[in-house]
Amino acid sequence: MRVSGVFDEYVPVFLRNIDVYRVNLTIGVSETIRGRNYLFLNVVNGTEIITQLHDLLYSNEFGEFDLGIPYMSHMTVGKLKNVDDLNNA
């Protein structure tokens, strides 16, 4: 199934009963995962809904992309070239 097919099938069904909600983010979170240097914003409020959506998608059609790392609700800001750039971001 194409990625767009997954979204067309699963996401609207899951989101159908979700009301508008506020998401708050914290800044300055960074991590090197499998040699890649990511800059994140952590979700403070709204994490439960985002985690449920993540778990739904990764327990079904996106299972092959699961890295086996415990999920933390976040927004990826970017992937930096090296650890020094990451630490200075």
What pLDDT shows up at residue 12? 80
What pLDDT shows up at residue 30? 66
Tokens of 26: 């914290």
Rounded to whole angstroms, what are the CA distances from 68 to 8, 43, 55, 65, 84? 25, 20, 12, 9, 26
Q: How many CB atoms lie within 10 A of CB 40?
A: 20
pLDDT tens per residue, the chain (89 residues)?
455 666 677 778 777 777 787 888 887 666 666 677 888 888 888 888 888 888 877 887 778 888 888 888 888 888 888 888 888 87
Q: Which residues have CB under 8 Å from 18's CB, separation 6+?
A: 49
Pairwise CA distance, residues 44 & 64, whole Å: 28
What pLDDT shows up at residue 57? 78
